[in-house]
Every structure is written in C-alpha cells, then in structure tokens.
Amino acid sequence: MKFNILFLGLCSLTFVACAQLDEAKIKQHIKILSSDSLQGRGVGSEGEKMAAAYIESQFKKLKLQPKGVNNDFRQSFPFKGGVHGTGAEGTGNNLIAFLDNKAAYTVIIGAHYDHLGLGENGR
C-alpha cells in the first residue's frame, strides 16, 4: 500500500511538471528561432543579434535575473570566423540568466543560440 501511495504521488508530481509545458509556445519559440529572417544565426551576425534580443525578451517575461558583465544578459566574446578560425574577427554573445530557487545548489542550463550561419547556397 505504501508503494502505491508513493507511486501515485510521484505520478502526480510528473503530471504537474508536464502540465506547465505549453506545446504551442514551444513550437512558436522554435519557429521564431529557426526563421529564415534570422539568416542562420551566424556568430556576430544581425540574425544572431535578433535571436539574442528575442531570447532576452523571453528571459524578462520569465523574470530571470541578468548575470552578464554589464548587469544585462550578455557576455561578449571575440571570435575569428571560418572553419579553422582564420576568417574575419568579430564579437559574439552568450546569454546568462539566473532564477533564484533558494536552494543550496543551482543547476545551470545553457543554450547556444548562435549557429553556423547560411550555407553556400544561402540556406
């Protein structure tokens, strides 16, 4: 009997956690971040900057705390383009946010939203 109560309790926790996911919102985020208008989100590109702005707006909606260098969400880094780092130099950004869960330990989840950019045929 104790096992059944424990099992049902765990199932209800799983249901609550899953109930918070909104499939339509997730699909919308994917649609926006994979949009051709972001031109592949190449590091340092306008598409990457647009993706960063979108993600930052979502962080703000979630009331996450910015943990970037200038009390914002961005942490800039220099890069050299090209497959072997022999191309033009530029600056890219990582986004850093924090949700204070008041726990002794914190799990950090990172997402690298930049990508390779457009391929040779513009896709």
Q: Would you give the DSSP letter of residue 36?
A: G
Q: At what angle do helices 46-61 and 23-33 cross, to 10 degrees?
A: 160
pLDDT at 61: 92
Sign of CA dihedral 49, 54, 58, 60: positive
Among the listed residues 68, 118, 57, the one whose alpha carbon sits nearest the alpha carbon of residue 98: 68
Convert the pLDDT of each residue in 22-72 to its tens digit: 899 999 999 998 888 988 888 888 888 899 999 999 999 988 888 888 888
pLDDT at 32: 92
Cβ partners under 8 Å of residue 81, min gap 6: 43, 44, 87, 88, 89, 90
| pLDDT classification of 75: cutoffs 50, 70, 90 | confident
The whole-model pTM stands at: 0.70
